Amino acid sequence: MVEIKTEENLLAMRETGRVVAQALAAVREKAAPGVTLGELDRAAREVLAGAGAGSPFLDYHPEWAPVPFPAVVCLSVNDAIVHGVPDGTRLADGDLVSADCGAVLGGWVGDSAVSFTVGAARPADTRLIDTAYEALEAGIAAARVGNRIGDIAHAVGRVCRRAGYGIPDGLGGHGVGRSMHEGPDIPNEGRPGRGMQLRHGMVLAIEPMLIGGGRDDHYTAADGWTIRTLDGSRAAHAEHTVAVTDEGPRILTAL
């Protein structure tokens, strides 16, 4: 089911989105060589707590996961694509980090992700991250009233494939609202003009995920959560919660 949000709902979701953006900014500011992933999670928790917000990630337990997720932010490093579990791992100079965070405030959810390099960046990582954001911008630009889900998927996939990157099989975006995962599903590759038509008041999490080695396959690590590239190449992830409106796409998770 796809819930159409009112203007009042969208304004409330914008407040939630600001909290998400602030949490991700805190994670990025804290990240440095020697800092643990657990410390980054604590930085995000402090922002959520300070805003009086909850976390849709903490204790989330889908049927495919062996245990509930133990943190408020997913931290995926280097060959991890998404769902990385924060632990005592210490960041090293040159690590590529993808941070995915959500918040719940006033009954509404926000969801966003950023990718960045710790310390000195490899040129290949910079290009990968830049392309992830370019794909996100293309997907957002296609999130217009009258377009279809396939138009977003095509816009994202075209940027990724043109750059020679892989697109992880089976992973993509989704609707957002009163819960973290609502309809519709938003693939990161598809045919234009296909799928559900976009209407004013729909809210979507658009989230390109790119695999640097060019392959699409991946596997789930022993923790049951972290999804890694099969070829061991690095990955990047970028995401915003976006409202489809008659005036054009409205990003709800920007600072």
Q: At 220, phi and psi to the nearest 5?
A: -95, 130
Identify the residue whose tokens are 């918040």: 103
Q: How far is CA 182 from CA 94, 136, 172, 177, in A?
A: 35, 19, 13, 7
DSSP one-letter code for 239? B
- Is 98 within 8 Å of 129 (Cβ atoms)? no
Identify the residue whose tokens are 């020697």: 34
Euclidean distance between CA atoms 77 and 226, whole angstroms: 10
Question: How confident is the model at residue 114, as a pLDDT?
Answer: 98
DSSP alpha helix (H) spans, the chain: 7-30, 37-51, 123-141, 149-162
Q: Is the dihedral of CA 14, 20, 26, 31 positive or negative?
A: negative
- 56: which 2 tokens? 């849709």
Amino acid, single-letter form, for residue 3: E
Question: How confident is the model at residue 37, as a pLDDT?
Answer: 98
Q: What is the pLDDT along the chain (255 residues), one digit of tens a residue?
A: 799 999 999 999 999 999 999 999 999 999 999 999 999 999 999 999 999 999 999 999 999 999 999 999 999 999 999 999 999 999 999 999 999 999 999 999 999 999 999 999 999 999 999 999 999 999 999 999 999 999 999 999 999 999 999 999 999 999 999 999 999 999 999 999 999 999 999 999 999 999 999 999 999 999 999 999 999 999 999 999 999 999 999 999 999
Question: How confident is the model at residue 1, as a pLDDT?
Answer: 78
- 13: which 2 tokens? 């979701």
Question: How confident is the model at residue 73, as a pLDDT?
Answer: 98
- Residue 231 CB: number of other CB atoms within 10 A? 14
